[in-house]
Amino acid sequence: TELDTLDIIVLAAILLGTAAYFTKGKLWGVTKDPYASSFAGANGKAGKTRNIVEKLEESGKNCIIFYGSQTGTAEDYASRLAKEGKSRFGLETMVADLEEFDYDNLDAIPNDKVVMFVLATYGEGEPTDNAVDFYEFVTGEDVSFNEGNDPPLSNLNFVAFGLGNNTYEHYNSMVRNVTKALEKHGAHRIGEAGEGDDGAGTMEEDFLAWKDPMWKALQEKMGLDEREAVYEPIFGIVERETLTKDSPEVYVGEPNKMHLDGTPKGPFNAHNPYIAPIAKSFELFSVKDRNCLHMEVDISGSNLTYQTGDHIAVWPTNPGEEVDRFLNTFGLTDKRHQVISVKALEPTAKVPFPTPTTFDAIVRYHMEICAPVSRQFIATLAAFAPNEESKAEMTKLGGDKDYFHQKVNVHHLNIARILKSVSKGQPWISVPFSALIEGVTKLQPRYYSISSSSLEQPKMISITAVVERQTIPGRDDPFHGVATNYLLALKEKQNGEPNPTPFGLSYEITGPRNRYDGVHVPVHVRHSNFKLPSDPTKPIILIGPGTGVAPFRGFVRERVNQVKNGETVGKTILFFGCRKRTEDFLYDKEWQEAKEVLGDNFELVLAFSRDGPKKVYVQHRLKERSKEINELLEKKAYFYVCGDAANMAREVNTVLAQILSEQRGIPDTKAEEIVKNMRAANQYQEDVW
Ligand code: FAD
């Protein structure tokens, strides 16, 4: 089979590497495991060059694909471009994190090379965390490059694609501003600067539609010949017969070396979670088939800090049933605990998890196996189908957007479910495991708006999360969200259930080597700009329906504690909405307690969508309060919106402009201008998802 041939090639490559290790390794004083991938520290970046030109030269590459990524999608697109460039056009591609290079020598990249930028826009038109420095550099007023060419970037050929969301004001501003800046300095754009729209739900199709003409333009510019696409694995897999899953050097889900050694220490961040005890957890809804969790996470054993309005990231694990389905689909069930080492077969590729490890640990802790699948990946897997019929079906799915939508998207199918349905249950044993590492994205932490106040409890973070569950037409089992159902299981465990299986889902809840036992959850904190005014006497208007109320619970508790400390606080008016007072009214009692302390300075305005004959939403209530809202804004009130980005946040924005226009007797355009200026001045802040 193809797997056998591949294994032999890979094995040969690794044997060569091993021979090199035995001859040179000793001389260099290299110790320990020759196959282990380097996840030594939290970041493991020591000793790497930050010089792009040097990196391209030493690795023999002619195409570098930079990504600015927050949730992993841009990173995933970057690696897909790299793979396609290599397999279709023989480009020597490499993918690079923008954070890991300097930019003052962008002008020294020769014009027979191409630089691609895949850039997500985050929040209010901001760069992603890893792209901040790059963005400030290239769009800077007095940017200066090393070579002194005129214009400075006249040798630079670039390609650009942006990931954005049209429900935000600054749609795709990253790719737009970066393209503008590069062109201003004389760089040559190849093809259009593409824009994907998450708001319209067309990101994947926008990407696919953009890339074909881009490849054409690049082919012409660089004189590339298209060849029959051949799959070449990026990773080599070696079975380690001498190790078992219990050997101390084997990773069974630990995120890095410190965790493996049992000595995790800070800084805790997106590369290194803190395994935090859950101090308290309970259900917030009083209705049978929907759940919303309140969970208190204790960070006192760490050096983590937070401020009211920040986000906490939860690192989930996949449910056992989906792990089983995935392993079974690829014929790996019997080998699930087999220890393997994974090595990048080319120098610029990174193994996305630490090894040696097991198939089970990779699938459970490191792969987003439940997520939607890209059409491109389906097309790639056609070559490894178990029979001709399945291959034809995969090719059709990969090539026909409408067919794919109707067969896959509508039913919320994940990769294993699609393949099983295409092959009518026959396993896909010819798929090289490397293709799965390349094609399935890394399991991402999920963010939650912290719902506690750091003034009240600096070392205890609370989460308010609604459990994702959807009934899907044509499917007998509902769709379950990864992180929230894992949190639900943790909640049940924390409340005394020894083996929780919410909705029939089971989790490795005690974590790798039982280190999460005693009910722990891996987390880190992400600082946000969503903040109370520094002057507590300023009035605040809070719009937070559903779990959008999370950060406002923190805001209100903060003000209650300020008053208890003898401070004067301004008016707080909170608009909360949900379906029914008796079912999903969050923190009902707490608002009454806040009222006792804040008195007339606190007002809760409620909107129930299913309690009466008419659906009432927060934006309706806001409109009813036009006069008061306008007066508060004239007193420089801060305006905050949290929750649903797709509809609510946009409508609230529109309603606010209407209020200003009516109350102040000014034209709509003028009122919209004022709202824009409020946003620019941070007087209007959003925390939406
Ligand atoms: P996932 O498994 O990630 O699924 C999420 C959605 O993706 C599904 O509903 C579905 O629409 C789609 N999807 C997933 N798999 C498939 C598939 N195979 N096919 C088709 N569609 C699929 N949430 C809160 O409850 N409270 C908060 O305070 C909160 N704050 C947030 C703050 C920020 C800054 C952000 C970015 C998000 C916040 N969220 C919050 C949302 C939260 O991060 C998660 O997205 C949410 O909890 C769902 O996670 P999950 O892993 O359970 O669901």
pLDDT tens for 351-407 read 999 999 999 999 999 999 999 999 999 999 999 999 999 999 999 999 999 999 999
DSSP state of 285: -
Percent of the chain with pLDDT over 70: 93
By alpha-carbon position, which residue is closest to atom 53 of ligand 1? 481
Query: Which pLDDT score, from 0 to 100, does residue 473 have?
Result: 86
Per the structure block, which two tokens stand in for 75?
A: 């990173």
Q: What confidence category does residue 2 fall into, taking pLDDT thresholds of 50, 70 and 90?
A: very low
What pLDDT band is residue 21 in, cutting at 50, 70 and 90? very low
DSSP string, 185-212: TTPEE-S--EEEETTTT-HHHHHHHHHH
User: Which entry of 528, 584, 642, 644 is annotated as an active-site residue?
Assistant: 642
d(CA 367, CA 649): 32
Whether omega for the bond prior to residue 432 falls within 30 degrees of 0, making it cis, is no
The sign one gets for the Cα dihedral 209, 214, 215, 220 is: positive
Q: Is 687 an active-site residue?
A: yes
Does the structure show a pLDDT above 60 at 471?
yes
pLDDT(520) > 50: yes
Q: What number is the ipTM of this complex? A: 0.99
Kindly report the three-state secondary structure assignment for every residue of 340-402: EEEEECCCCCCCCCCCCEEHHHHHHHHECCCCCCCHHHHHHHHHHCCCHHHHHHHHHHHHCHH
Given the residues 107, 206, 310, 687, the one annotated as active site? 687
Please tell me if the CB atom of residue 379 comes closer than 6 angstroms to any atom of ligand 1.
Answer: no
Ligand 1 binding pocket includes 179 (Cβ within 6 Å): no
Q: 467 CA to middle of ligand 1, Å?
A: 9
Query: Residue 184: its pLDDT value, please?
Result: 96
- Which range has the worst mean pLDDT, 123-127, 180-184, 288-292, 482-486? 123-127
Region 109-120: mean pLDDT is 97
Query: How high is the pLDDT of residue 71?
Result: 86
pLDDT at residue 46, as a whole number:
47
pLDDT at 20 (0 to 100): 41
Q: Is 468 in the pocket of ligand 1 (CB under 6 A)?
A: yes
pLDDT higher at 125 or 451: 451
SS (H, E, C) 436-472: HHHHCCECCCEEEECCCCCCCCCCEEEEEEECCEECC
Give the Å distance between the CA of 444 and the centre of ligand 1.
11
Residue 23 pLDDT grade (very low, low, confident, very high; cuts 50, 70, 90):
very low
Q: How far is CA 415 from the centre of its chain?
A: 18
| Mutate-to-test residue for ligand 1 from 124, 306, 448, 462, highest number of ligand atoms within 8 A of CB | 448
Banded model confidence at residue 677, pLDDT cuts 50, 70, 90? very high
Instruction: Say whether 370 is catalytic.
Output: no
449 catalytic, yes or no? yes
Residue 210 is a catalytic residue? no
Where is pLDDT greater, at 325 or 346? 325
Q: Tell me the C-alpha distance between 386 and 403, whole Å.
A: 21
In whole angstroms, what is the distance from residue 357 CA to residue 342 CA? Answer: 8
Length of the chain as a residue count: 689
Assess whether the C-beta atom of 478 lies below 6 angstroms from ligand 1: no
Count other C-beta atoms under 10 Å from residue 51's C-beta: 15
The DSSP result for 30-86, as a single string, is --S-TT-----SSS--TT----HHHHHHHHT-SEEEEEE-SSSHHHHHHHHHHHHHH
Ligand 1 site, residue 649, Cβ cutoff 6 A: no
How close is the Cα of 34 to the center of ligand 1, in Å? 39
**Tens digits of per-residue pLDDT, 632-653?**
999 999 999 999 988 999 999 9
464 lines ligand 1 (CB under 6 A): yes
- Phi and psi torsions of 97, nearest 5°: -75, 125
Q: How confident is the model at residue 8 (pLDDT cuts 50, 70, 90)?
A: low
pLDDT at 19: 43
Pair 109, 152: CB distance under 8 Å: no
Give the pLDDT of residue 229.
81
Residue 6 has pLDDT above 60, yes or no: no
The CA 479 to ligand 1 mean position distance, Å, reads: 12
pLDDT single digits (tens) 36-63: 554 443 444 445 899 999 999 999 999 9
Residue 134 in contact with residue 96, Cβ under 8 Å? no
- Return mean pLDDT, the chain: 92
Checking if the pLDDT of 22 tops 50, the result is: no
Q: pLDDT at residue 300 above 70?
A: yes
Pocket test for ligand 1, best of 198, 284, 308, 449 (most atoms within 8 A of CB): 449
Q: Averaged over 309-335, what is the pLDDT? A: 98
